[in-house]
Amino acid sequence: MSDFETRLAHISRCIQILPDKPEETPESTLRALWMKAAGSPMSAERSLTVELPKLDTAQKKVLEEMIRRRLEGVPLGHLTGRQMFMGLELTVSPDALLPRRETEILGHAALTIAAELNGESGTPLIVDTCCGSGNVALAVADQVSEVRVVGVDLSSEAVALAELNARNLGLSNRVEFRVGDLLKPVEVLARKVDLITCNPPYISTASVATMDTEIAGHEPPMAFDGGPFGVKILRRLLKEAPAVLRPRGFLAFEVGLGQGEPMSERMRRLGVFDSIDVFNDASGAIRAIGARLA
* Sequential pLDDT tens for the chain (294 residues): 799 999 999 999 999 998 989 999 999 999 999 999 999 999 999 999 999 999 999 999 999 999 999 999 999 999 999 999 999 999 999 999 999 999 999 999 999 999 888 767 689 999 999 999 999 999 999 999 889 999 999 999 999 999 999 999 999 999 999 999 999 999 999 999 999 999 999 999 988 888 898 998 999 998 989 998 889 999 999 999 999 999 999 999 999 999 999 999 999 999 999 889 999 999 999 999 999 998
| Identity of the residue numbered 18 | L
**Model-level pTM?**
0.95
* Rounded Cα distance, 223 and 132, in Å: 8
CA dist 265 and 178 (Å) reads 31
Per-residue pLDDT tens over the stretch 111-159:
999 988 876 768 999 999 999 999 999 999 999 988 999 999 999 999 9
State the CATH architecture for 103-293: 3-Layer(aba) Sandwich (3.40)
- Which class for 188: exposed (0-12), middle (13-18), buried (19 or more C-beta within 10 A)? exposed
Got the DSSP string for 119-145?
TSSS--EEEEES-TTTHHHHHHHHH-S
163: burial class by Cβ within 10 Å (0-12, 13-18, 19+)?
middle
Give residues with Cβ within 8 angstroms of 74, minimum separation 6: 214, 218
CA distance 88 to 77: 14
Q: What is the pLDDT of residues 154-186, one digit of tens each?
A: 999 999 999 999 999 999 999 999 999 999 999
Of the chain, the end-to-end C-alpha distance in Å amounts to 64
Phi and psi, residue 17, nearest 5°:
-110, 125
Region 3-80: CATH code: 1.10.8
Tell me the H-state helices in the chain. 3-14, 26-37, 44-47, 57-71, 76-80, 103-118, 135-143, 156-168, 205-208, 213-216, 232-244, 260-270
Please list the residue range(s) of the chain that carry CATH number 3.40.50.150.
103-293
Residue 137 near residue 186, CB atoms below 8 Å: no
Give dist(CA 173, CA 186) in Å, integer.
18
Q: Give the C-alpha distances (Å, rounded to integers) separating 269 from 31, 150, 259, 261, 263.
A: 50, 29, 15, 12, 10
Contact 134, 107 (CB under 8 A): no
SS3 26: helix
Q: Answer whether 151's CB lies under 8 Å from 134's CB.
A: yes
Question: What DSSP character marks residue 274?
Answer: E
Residue 254's H or E segment, with its range, is strand 245-254
CATH 1.10.8 domain range(s) in the chain:
3-80
